[in-house]
Chains A and B, each alone.
Chain A
Amino acid sequence: MDNDRELIHKLLDGGLPSDETAALMKRVNSDPDLLEEFTLLKEAVTVIEKSERKQASASFTSDVMRRLSSGAKAERKGWRNFFFGERIFRWNMAYAAAALLLAVLTAGGIYNFRSGGQIPYSALDKSAVTVKFNFYSPDAKSVSVAGDFNKWRTDAGVMRREEGGIWTIKIPLKPGAYNYMFVMNGDAWITDPEAAAYHDDGFGYKNSVVRVDKL
C-alpha cells in the first residue's frame, strides 16, 4: 500500500513507465481506499495545473524600462553630486580649531618643502628672520647648504639654480650665530666666500658663519 502511494506520486511526477502504470492502476481500481487516495491527489494536481495563469499589466515592460532608466540617471546624478553638488557644512569650535591647525601645518609644510626640506626651525616663530643664502657655481649639478640650523644634513637645504649659475635658498632662522658650509654635487664641502665671518672647525677647515640679529 505504502509502496503504491509512492508509485502514485511517481506517476504524477510523470516518471512511471507505461507497464508499471497499468499494473498500478489495476491495483488502485481494486482497492477503494487507494482509489480515493489516487483520485484526490490527481484532482489536486489537475486543479493546480488548470488554474488561471496570471498576466502582467500592459505597462509592465515600459515600467521596468522606466525604472532602469531613472536608476541609471540617479546613478549618474549621484556621481555628479559627489563632485559638484553643494554641501552645507555644520561646524563647531572643535572642528574649526582642527581645520585651522590643519591649514597652519599644511602652510608650514609647503613652506618647508619649497625652501628645501626639513629645516628644524619653526617657520611660525615670530622672531625668525628669513635669510637668503647664495652660492655661485655655474658648473655644479647640485648645491645644498648644511649647518647648525639643519643638523648638517646635506639633503635638507637643497638650493635652487637660478639664471647666471647662482644657487639660492631662503631659510627662516631665529636670532643667533650659525656655522654652515655649501655642499656641491653631494660631496664637495665649500666655505662660503661671501660669508660675514668664519670659524675654524678643528679639522683644518673653516666654517662660514651667518649671524641673525633681532628685528
Chain B
Amino acid sequence: MEIQRDEYALIKECVDGNAEAYAVLVDRYKDMIYNIAYRMLGDADTAHDMAQESFISAYAGLKKFKNDSKFSTWLYSIAVNKCRDHLRGKRPHVPIDEIAEVACSAANPEEGLQSRQMLDGIQNALNALPDNYREAIILKHIEGLDYKEMGTIIGIDAGTLKVRTHRGREMLKKLLKGTGVFDGQR
C-alpha cells in the first residue's frame, strides 16, 4: 500500500507537469515491461521499441489513470495491447504439427538449462503458442499474477483465462517434450 500511495503521488506530479517524476516510474517498471514484451514478441529490438512505446503511451494517458487500480496492472495492459497490435498480421500462423519442430530446432539436449540454446528453445516454444495462449502463460507463470489481475489486464473473465492457460500448458508440454529442455533441468 505504501508503494501505491507513493505511485499515486508521483502520478499526480506527472499530471501537474513534472515530467521528471515519470522517470522514477519508468525506472521502477522498465524491466517488468521489457520482460513481458520480450516474452510476447521473442525479439530484443522489437521488445525494446514496444516497451518504450508502452511507457510513452502511458505518459500520454496518465490523466485517465484511475487510482482504484494498480499502476503496474494498468502498465501491463498497455504493454500487452502494444504487443498484440504489433503481432496482429505480423506473424504467419504456424500449424500445430510444425510447432514441435520449431521448438526442437533451437534446443540442444547436450547443454544445461541456462545455456543460450536452451533459453532460445523455451522462447521458441512460447513463440509457437497462439497469441492468446502465450499471453495467458506469460502473465500466469512468468509474471506470477492471479487470474483476477490477468482478467483486468487482458479484459476478459477469469474462467476464459483459466481455459487458455490450461490449453497453453498442454501445448507447451508437447512442444518442450523431446527438445532436451526437460533433461537440462534434471
Contact = CB atoms under 8 A, between A and B. Distances in A.
Interface of A: 9, 12-13, 40-41, 43-57, 60-65, 67-69, 71-72
B55 to A, nearest CB: 5
Contact of B169 (A45, A54, A56, A57): A45
A19 B172 CA distance: 28
B78 interface: no
B74 interface: no
B78 to A, nearest CB: 13
A52 B114 contact: yes
B173 A60 contact: no
B173 A65 contact: no
B186 to A, nearest CB: 8
B26 A65 contact: yes
B34 to A, nearest CB: 4
A13 B56 contact: no
B23 interface: yes
A117 B182 CA distance: 92
Contacts of B65: none
Contacts of B6: none
Contacts of A68: 19, 22, 56, 59
Nearest to A46: B185
A47 B34 contact: no
Contacts of B162: 9, 13
Contacts of A56: 30-31, 33-34, 48, 51
Contact of A61 (B19, B26, B172, B176): B26
26 contacts: A12-B169, A43-B176, A43-B182, A43-B185, A44-B182, A47-B122, A47-B185, A50-B113, A51-B123, A52-B119, A54-B39, A55-B34, A56-B33, A56-B48, A60-B51, A61-B27, A61-B30, A62-B23, A63-B52, A64-B23, A64-B30, A64-B52, A65-B19, A65-B23, A67-B52, A68-B19
A57 B44 CA distance: 10
A72 to B, nearest CB: 8
Contacts of B48: 56-57, 60
Given A45-B169, A64-B23, 11 more contacts: A13-B140, A41-B173, A48-B122, A48-B137, A51-B123, A54-B39, A60-B30, A61-B26, A61-B30, A63-B52, A68-B59
A47 B137 CA distance: 12
Nearest to B30: A56
Contacts, number: 102
B47 A54 contact: yes
B164 to A, nearest CB: 11
Interface in B138-157: 140-142, 144, 147
B35 interface: yes
B124 to A, nearest CB: 12
A64 B26 contact: yes
Contacts of B31: 53-56
Given A41-B173, A47-B185, A60 B34 contact: yes
B76 interface: no
B181 to A, nearest CB: 6
B165 interface: yes
Going nearest first, the 5 A-B pairs with the smallest beta carbon separation are A56-B34, A56-B30, A54-B38, A44-B172, A9-B166
B52 A60 contact: yes
Nearest to A37: B173
Given A40-B177, A44-B173, A45-B169, A65 B141 contact: no
A49 B142 contact: yes
Given A53-B31, A56-B48, A71 B166 contact: no
Interface string B25-64: 0110011011100110000100110011001100100000
